[in-house]
Structure 1
């Protein structure tokens, strides 16, 4: 950046800056950033609508890539186990709702895929999992408790399917933590 030293600018009050993006993957104990994304061309879903039960966020790079397809199929097969914890699973990528719709139908997925499409990657950025160079959501998993706080998070290498075991372990720990906490402690 160059500056023009011959013209001194008068001191001005600092402009309000937008909220800073996280430096990396959001960690447990942090409030999960709320969002509203399109689930279909005419339906939106907000994270805050799901308060009261755990939510599993599955950020992934692209609908039609082989690793992403495998990862989402693993979550689809694990839905009966995840539902035992009353957990809602949401897949999130920068693909359009039309791509999601075709992919959901092709793979017979039993959970919503949300379009982090416009502005591209905004939700992934708020969770610290957007790949600026690649222009896609990184492969990351979050378990959010019923109060909207991140209980567990994991960033996977893009080429590796992280599976569902870490999520199931986190949901089990969350259930045991919740069952041993009295209402006054919550």
Structure 2
């Protein structure tokens, strides 16, 4: 089971580039979309990350940043991100393999990859929405946008 609404998001520090790391704490005061996915270069993952790249401006209009997370290495992420011209960080849940995915309930023990799971985290680090998608299906952005809309409506 993935973590659900009103659960404090587990902290993490992961490589975002070969020489830089990002932590959950780096995003305090912002909303955060965590997109766990199985693997760089797979067709569905490529489409999913491209979609989030295209909707990044909309997400940022909600004061939200996007982070992609998989068990691929920082070097693999660098090549994938450069090739796909992504404008948001991909984090390497590489060593210990799948540690952060496990904390969020998104690790697939059978194949050693992250499941395709989405989390929307509020400015205080609390999960406001989560969704586990079948691995072979791109979950799109509608659920994320609905969650961000709901968070805006709560604040009115």
When normalised by structure 2's length, the TM-score is 0.99
Offset at residue 108 of structure 1 (A): 0.3
What is the SS of the residue equivalent to 1:58? Answer: strand
Which runs of 4 or more aligned residues in structure 1 lie more than 4 Å from their structure 2 counterparts after TM superposition? Answer: none
The one of 137, 149, 165 equivalent to 2:126 is 149
SS across alignment from 1:133: coil
The 2-side partners of 1:173 and 1:41 are apart by 36
- Which residues of structure 1 form unaligned runs of 5+? 1-23, 181-186
For 1:15-164, what aligned pairs fall within 5 Å after superposition?
A: 24-164=1-141
Cα deviation, residue 67, structure 1: 0.3
Which residue does 1:7 correspond to in 2?
A: none
Q: Of residues 130, 133, 147 in structure 2, which corresponds to 1:170? A: 147
How far apart, CA to CA, are the structure 2 residues paired with 1:48 and 1:86? 15
Q: Following the alignment from structure 1 to structure 2, what is the Cα–Cα distance between the partners of residues 41 and 75? A: 22
How many aligned residue pairs are there?
156
Rounded Cα–Cα distance in structure 2 between residues aligned with 1:25 and 1:112? 22
3-state DSSP of counterpart to 2:34: strand
1:48 deviation in Å? 1.1
Structure having greater relative contact order (Cα 8 Å, sep ≥ 6): 2
SS, match of residue 123 in structure 2: coil
* TM-score normalised by L of structure 1: 0.83
Cα RMSD (Å) of the superposition?
0.6
SS at match of 1:82: helix
- Higher strand proportion, which one? 2
Partners of 1:119 and 1:74 in 2: how far apart? 29
